[in-house]
Amino acid sequence: MSRSLAEFLRQSWGDRLEWMIETYASPEKFLHLMDEAEIDYAVILADISPMVTGISNNEAVARFCSASDRLIPFANLNPHTFLNMAEEIERLTEKLGFRGIKLYPTYQNFYPNDAVMYPLYAKSQELGLPISFHTGSSTFAGARLKYGDPLFLDDVAVDFPDLVLLQCHCGRPLWYENALAVTRLHPNIYMEISGLPPKKLLDYFPGFERLSHKVIYGSDWPGVTNLVDNVQAIKNLPIKEESKIRILGENAATILKLPHHPAGLDG
């Protein structure tokens, strides 16, 4: 990992950082962490951003997720390191079982609506792979905020109407209004709320509950260190139980074609 990412994690975990890295390098231990927070499935993200955060390559993520069908691998394709991204995502899907893609425009210096990305989007739409975009700001050295505006997803949603697009962090903190606007406008754009304080969601997004069918829970772990409290904070929101069920699993299960059996949130 980069020095910047290491410092961010040390601020979050303190003197437990080395323990966290050593412990949760084990899929079995990570599954136990999920069990404690009553999390059925986790999406594990690759990141190939050597100039900003570091490298967690696709093959390492695939190996980690091979331990359990509860661990779902999302690939990363950096447009500066892959000559043929469409060909590569087809290989990763067929050979290594990837179920989606995570892109980092602010770390990898590209606009989401740049034509260079369109072959990847076309292949992902063909394969039925959702794409998750980092949107909004970043504290890591070398990140460039100008690439993080959710409004750039408007072009992508228009040109690829059957491609599921997830806005990680929902434009935090500069572009909440843009994130909300494109979510309302496009059936294939969703808000993924990782890294946002749950108690602030109703303030950030007017009409939040009316969009509960377009909102997906994400933890931003290990940036968020306590998954139990993070999930509980969503359960404590003053919205209907059926809205919480959609946010905490039903929407993601539909997109990822996973079994989901909502049994209420009090158990």
pLDDT tens, residue by residue, 104-146: 999 999 999 999 999 999 999 999 999 999 999 998 999 999 9
Closest listed residue to residue 104, CA positions, set 132, 80, 127, 82: 132
- What is the pTM for the complete model shown? 0.95
How is the chain split into domains, by residue range? 3-256
For residue 142, count other CB atoms closer than 10 A to its CB: 15
Kind and range of the H or E run holding 86: helix 85-96
CATH 3.20.20.140 fits 3-256, yes or no: yes
pLDDT tens, residue by residue, 63-101: 999 999 999 999 999 999 999 999 999 999 999 999 999
**What separation in angstroms does the CA of 20 have from each of 31, 48, 138, 154, 195?**
14, 21, 22, 38, 19
pLDDT tens, residue by residue, 141-186: 999 999 999 999 999 999 999 999 999 999 999 999 999 999 999 9
Q: Enumerate residues 6+ apart whose C-beta is below 8 A from 185.
A: 154, 157
Give the pLDDT score at 265: 57
pLDDT tens, residue by residue, 3-17: 999 999 999 999 999
Rounded CA separation 67/110 (Å): 33
CA dihedral (137, 250, 56, 98) positive or negative: negative
- pLDDT band per the 50, 70, 90 thresholds, residue 266: low
Written as one string, the DSSP assignment of 160-213 is: -TTS-EEEEGGGTTT-HHHHHHHHHH-TTEEEE-TTS-GGGHHHHSTTGGGGGG
Give the pLDDT score at 261: 61
Give the pLDDT score at 26: 95
The stretch 38-55 carries a mean pLDDT of 96
Give the pLDDT score at 267: 43
